[in-house]
Amino acid sequence: MIMEGLDVARNAIGEFRFPEFRLLRELRVSAMPAHGQSIINIELALETDSRQPPARLCMRFRAVSSLQVRDLGGEARIPGFDVADLSDRHLERINWQVFDFEESVISFYAEDAEIVAASVLKSC
């Protein structure tokens, strides 16, 4: 499955891989009531730290499950950030996995994933 907004992001910042985006700038979790339960949604804003010029991605994940966030302390870094397409596994309401393959700082599953914005950061 191709993530919504991926082509637009590549046009804006060029080719990239998710592990380049290690600096967590925003993490927003919201719960929306639906059919007697809450649907969890997550928005992430991430930046690169080794790419020149640096870039920023804003991502939205809907219908999140199994959310785990560990010790972000100091400068919030996700050293092994990655997103995997699980849609071919035909799991109920799980099409994407977000995880940190180095330090397990964050992990969750989501039904939908989207890149809502991508930009090259300007130097001061």
Domain residue extents for the chain: 6-120
- 59 has a pLDDT exceeding 90: yes
pLDDT tens column, 17-50 = 999 999 999 999 999 888 888 999 999 999 999 8
The whole-chain average pLDDT of the chain stands at: 94
State mean pLDDT over 92-120.
96
Q: Which residues contact 69 (CB under 8 A, 6 or more apart)?
A: 27, 105, 106
pLDDT at 80 over 70: yes
| CA separation for the pair 33, 91 (Å, rounded) | 23
Q: How far apart are CA 12 and CA 55, in angstroms?
A: 9
Distance CA 23, CA 41 (A): 20
Residue 67: pLDDT band (50, 70, 90) is: very high
3-state SS of the chain? CCCECHHHHHHHHCCCCHHHEEEEEEEEEEEEEECCEEEEEEEEEEEECCCCCCEEEEEEEEEEEEEEECCCCCCCECCCEEEEECHHHCECCECEEEEECCCCCEEEEEEEEEEEEEEECCCC
Residues 62-90, mean pLDDT to the nearest whole number? 92
